[in-house]
Structure 1
Amino acid sequence: MSIAAMQARVREGVPLAGAWGIEVLSYGEGLATLRLPAREDMLRPGGTVSGPALMGLADVAMWVALLSLSEGRDESLTASLAITFLRRPPATAVLAEARVIKRGRTLSYGEVTLRAEGAAEPCAHVTTSWAATGSK
């Protein structure tokens, strides 16, 4: 599946990803890198990217990592998502690097590292589990 086809799949499955302008930069073998562009409506007071925007980006990134293992046919749903905010990201684009750690028959587990574009240090770390719906 091409990057463009994956992008279309993501925007079909999560229309909010399209509204936010989330981009699929790369994916494959349980990994995915996505980008949330800098947007003024994603900022909170103090000029930092909001927590809900970071959580949404992380959730979509993990779904793409799961889709990469199923030729774009994964219908899993988020069962849990825990985020630790490590530092305030500036008002720039944010990158999400997702990795599936374990893919099970009924439950999958992964992590996502978020960082401001151009930054070396992460701004947040996410762990997440996904429940299979039976339509893999």
Structure 2
Amino acid sequence: MTSHQPIMTLDALREFLDREFPQIHVGGRTYELEEIGPFSARMRMDYHEKHLRPGGTISGPAMMGLADVALYAAILAHIGPVPLAVTTNLNFNFLRKPEQQALIADCRLLKLGKRLAVGEVSIYSEGSEDIVCHATGTYSIPDRR
């Protein structure tokens, strides 16, 4: 098990995501990694019409993407730049309609082992304390031989 402290800096992790996953910025930059900490990360997704579904609410797939990227960032912050760490499971509970504004994803790692990482993500409308979506996920960490 690694330390609870991140081994990547915020800037190094941002650069890694931009370099290895430029596709998350297609159509304009909407994701911003705001902070990393002990077994945690915070990511912001700017409000944009491309994230809306019929009825004018932010879509489930947009929130799913935000949760997945936030969890990935939290894991990499603690294991280093391992681009082939992959999602093996994600579970979502949509709790209330998000506001038409930026979303904030707070991620907390629950387990970080040699082969698997498990975390949870709470998503909020910016400026609100009410959780709009709660996600749990598991990532497979490749052998680093």
2:19 matched to 1:12?
yes
| TM-superposed deviation, 1:10 | 1.4
Report the AA paired with residue 4 of structure 1: D
2:118 matched to 1:106?
no
Match of 1:121 in 2: 130
CA distance in 2, matches of 1:37, 1:135: 34
CA distance in 1, matches of 2:80, 2:117: 16
2:70 matched to 1:83?
no
CA distance in 1, matches of 2:39, 2:84: 15
CA distance in 1, matches of 2:41, 2:91: 18
1:23 to 10, 32, 36: 32
Match of 1:67 in 2: 76
TM-score by length of 2: 0.86
CA RMSD, 1 decimal: 1.7
CA distance in 2, matches of 1:91, 1:119: 12
Structure 1 residues without counterparts, runs of 5 or longer: none
Write the deviation string for residues 84-135 of structure 1: whole angstroms up to 9, x where unpaired.
0000102110000011100112111110000110111000000000111213
| TM-superposed deviation, 1:6 | 1.7
Structure 2 residues without counterparts, runs of 5 or longer: 1-7
The percent identity for this pair of structures is 34
1:86-97 mapped onto 2 (5 Å cutoff): 86-97=95-106
